[in-house]
Amino acid sequence: MTPATQRSISDEIARIHASADPGETRTRLDFPPYRSSLLRHPTKRPLVVDPEDVELAAPVFGQSDVDPTEADLTLHPQGEPIGERIVVTGRVLDADGRPVRGQLVEIWQANAAGRYVHKGDQHPAPLDPHFHGAGRCLTDDDGWYRFTTIKPGPYPWRNHHNAWRPAHIHFSLFGREFTQRLVTQMYFPGDPLFALDPIYQSITDQKARDRLVATYDHELTTHEWATGYRWDIVLTGAHATPIEQEADDA
């Protein structure tokens, strides 16, 4: 990023933040610094359509549907992945602070070099043959989820010259019906790319942005094995976890 480009994006983000309504916590769908959002966000009011009966039934996933090993992204039959091993855990809660049990939590991410196992990702960083970058688990009776994985690296994207995404993990959660789904991102504390990332900055409220950043947890960290991060997810209410923009960032 040239200094002029950096100043231009930073100035535009600051201007939008200054003009935002107090307490505006939802992600801006039409956010000029995030260029693809201008072309891909909805431009018309949603139509009210009655869902089919099958979509009104809550998703039900039993223990036989999700194997416990699917929550450990470091497992590979031919070797261990390269990178910093981490544990990410937290609780899924509703607006009243009650745990959401049996919730299917899915994640996907780049490897330690910042590259996804996806044909659309062709930037010149190495693929790790021992890391597939996706996992899932069910929340327990107290709403806890837990993943073991590799800390992802930042990666370039084509929003502007020299644009890099902060390291993050994508999360997907179904609600009480198939028509309800939360897709969002978890970031890591202290990332120097936060101020330069239009996706992260498209949430104009600082407190809402902070809810997307995990907390380092030394009690969760395991001696000579893995560092630990805590990240709770609130599905509804004033403290809800912000939803990811519909425009694709990869």
- Dihedral angle computed from the Cα positions of residues 85, 183, 69 and 54, in that order, rounded to the nearest 10 degrees: 180
Respond yes or no: is residue 160 known to be catalytic.
no
Respond yes or no: is residue 116 known to be catalytic.
yes
Cβ–Cβ < 8 Å for 122, 92: no
Respond yes or no: is residue 41 known to be catalytic.
no
Q: Taking the CA atoms of 46, 49, 52 and 54 in sequence, report the sign of the dihedral they define.
A: positive
Record the tokens describing residue 137, joined without a space.
Answer: 């688990």
Query: CA–CA separation, 188 vs 228, rounded Å?
Result: 11
Determine which one of 28, 168, 209, 211 is catalytic: 168
Determine which one of 34, 155, 187, 200 is catalytic: 155
Respond yes or no: is residue 155 known to be catalytic.
yes
Q: Which residues contact 48 (CB under 8 A, 6 or more apart)?
A: none
Query: CA–CA separation, 242 vs 236, rounded Å?
Result: 10
Helical segments of the chain, H only:
3-19, 35-40, 198-201, 206-210
Query: CA–CA separation, 90 vs 103, rounded Å?
Result: 12
Determine which one of 116, 187, 200, 229 is catalytic: 116
Determine which one of 91, 115, 136, 165 is catalytic: 165
Q: Which residues contact 44 (CB under 8 A, 6 or more apart)?
A: none
Respond yes or no: is residue 187 known to be catalytic.
no
Cβ–Cβ < 8 Å for 145, 139: yes
Residues designated catalytic: 116, 155, 165, 168, 170
